[in-house]
Structure 1
Amino acid sequence: MVSEYLKQNTAEYHDAAEKLFNSEKIFNKTFTLEDYRKIIHTNYLMLLHSENKIFSSLSDKFNEKLQLNERKKLPLIEKDLSGLALDNQKPSLHLEFENEHEALGAMYVIEGSTLGGNVIAKQLSKTEGFDQVTFNFFGCYQENTGSMWKNFKEILDSEVKEENYNEVLSGAKKLYTFLLSVN
Structure 2
Amino acid sequence: MTTNLGFSTSVDFLEKLKNQTAQAHKKLESLPVSASILSPNMEMGDYYNYLSLMYDVHISIQEVVFPLLADLIPDLKEREKTQLINDDFAYLNYKKNKTIPVLTKSDISIPFALGILYVVEGSSLGGRFILKNLETIPGLDHQKGVAYFTGYGNKTGSYWKNFLNILTSYQEQNNNEDEIIKGAVYAFDCIYNHFLNTVNNEN
Normalising by structure 1, we get a TM-score of 0.85
The answer to whether 1:122 aligns with 2:137 is no
Aligned position for 1:53: 64
Structure 1 contact 3–156 (Cα < 8 Å) conserved: no
Q: Which stretch shows the higher mean deviation, 125-134 or 150-159? A: 125-134
CA gap of 1:3–1:24, structure 2 versus 1, over 3 A, is farther
**Counterpart Cα distance in 2 of 1:78 and 1:145:** 20
- For residue 110 of structure 1, the aligned residue among 115, 120, 124 is 120
Root-mean-square deviation (Å): 2.3
Deviations 1:74-124 (A, max 9, x none): 221222234441315345453435210011001011101111111111221
Q: 1:153 aligns with which of 161, 164, 175?
A: 164
Q: Residues of 2 paired with 1:41 and 1:4: CA distance?
A: 32
TM-score, normalised by the number of residues in structure 2: 0.77
**Which residue of structure 1 aligns with residue 177 of structure 2?**
165
Amino acid at match of 2:110: E
Aligned residue number for residue 186 of structure 2: 174
Query: In the alignment, what sits opposite 2:78?
Result: 70
Deviates more, 1:129-138 or 1:41-50: 129-138
Aligned residues: percent identity?
31
Are 2:50 and 1:43 aligned?
A: no
Q: Which runs of 5+ in 2 are unaligned?
A: 1-9, 196-203
Task: Kindly provide the amino acid, as one letter, of the partner of residue 194 in structure 2.
Answer: V
How far apart are 1:37 and its partner, in Å? 1.9
Between the aligned partners of 1:46 and 1:25, the Cα distance in structure 2 is 17
Unaligned runs of 5+ in 1: none
**Stretch of structure 1 that moved more, 73-82 or 3-12:** 73-82
Q: Paired residue for 1:12? A: 23
The list of structure 1 runs, each at least 4 consecutive aligned residues, that deviate by more than 4 angstroms after superposition, is 90-93
For 1:14-29, what aligned pairs fall within 5 Å after superposition? 14-20=25-31, 21-23=33-35, 26=38, 29=40
Looking at structure 2, the residues matched to 119 and 52 of structure 1 have their Cα atoms a distance apart, in angstroms, of 27
Aligned length: 179
CA distance in 1, matches of 2:156, 2:64: 23
Asked if residue 98 in structure 1 is aligned to residue 108 in structure 2, the reply is: yes
- For the Cα contact (< 8 Å) 2:88–2:147, is it kept in 1? yes
Larger radius of gyration, structure 1 or 2? Answer: 2
Distance change >3 Å, CA 123–CA 68, structure 1 → 2: same
Partner of 2:95: 86
Tell me the SS of whatever aligns to 1:70: helix
- CA contact 1:55–1:68 (8 Å) conserved in 2: yes
- SS of 2:175's partner is helix
Instruction: Tell me how far apart the structure 2 counterparts of residues 86 and 118 of structure 1 sit (CA, whole Å).
Output: 25
